[in-house]
């Protein structure tokens, strides 16, 4: 089973215009990390997933 921890000090999008841009800076500065979720397949569901992004090669 894959396990990892992380924190995104600039928000997941990294967009300085986002209202969530700095919501994890304090956690990051204090060395606090969160469990990251790894799904084994695209069909697997979790109530922790708020969105999905699919990346495909150019044709």
SS (H, E, C) 22-42: CCCHHHHHCCCCEECCCCCCC
Residue among 32, 29, 25, 26 at smallest CA distance from 11: 25
Task: Report the 10 Å Cβ neighbour count for 24.
Answer: 19
pLDDT at position 52: 74
Q: What is the pLDDT along the chain (59 residues), one digit of tens a residue?
A: 788 999 988 888 889 999 989 999 999 999 999 998 877 777 777 777 777 778 899 98
Is the pTM higher than 0.85? The answer reads no
The answer to whether 32 and 7 have CB atoms below 8 angstroms apart is yes
Q: Residue 32: what pLDDT?
A: 95
pLDDT of residue 12: 80
């Amino acid at each position: 089973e894959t396990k990892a921890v992380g924190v995104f000090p600039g928000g997941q999008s990294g967009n300085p215009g986002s209202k969530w841009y700095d919501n994890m800076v304090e956690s990051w500065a204090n060395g606090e990390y969160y469990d990251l979720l790894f799904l084994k397949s695209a069909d697997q569901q979790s109530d922790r997933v708020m969105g999905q992004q699919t990346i495909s090669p150019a044709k």
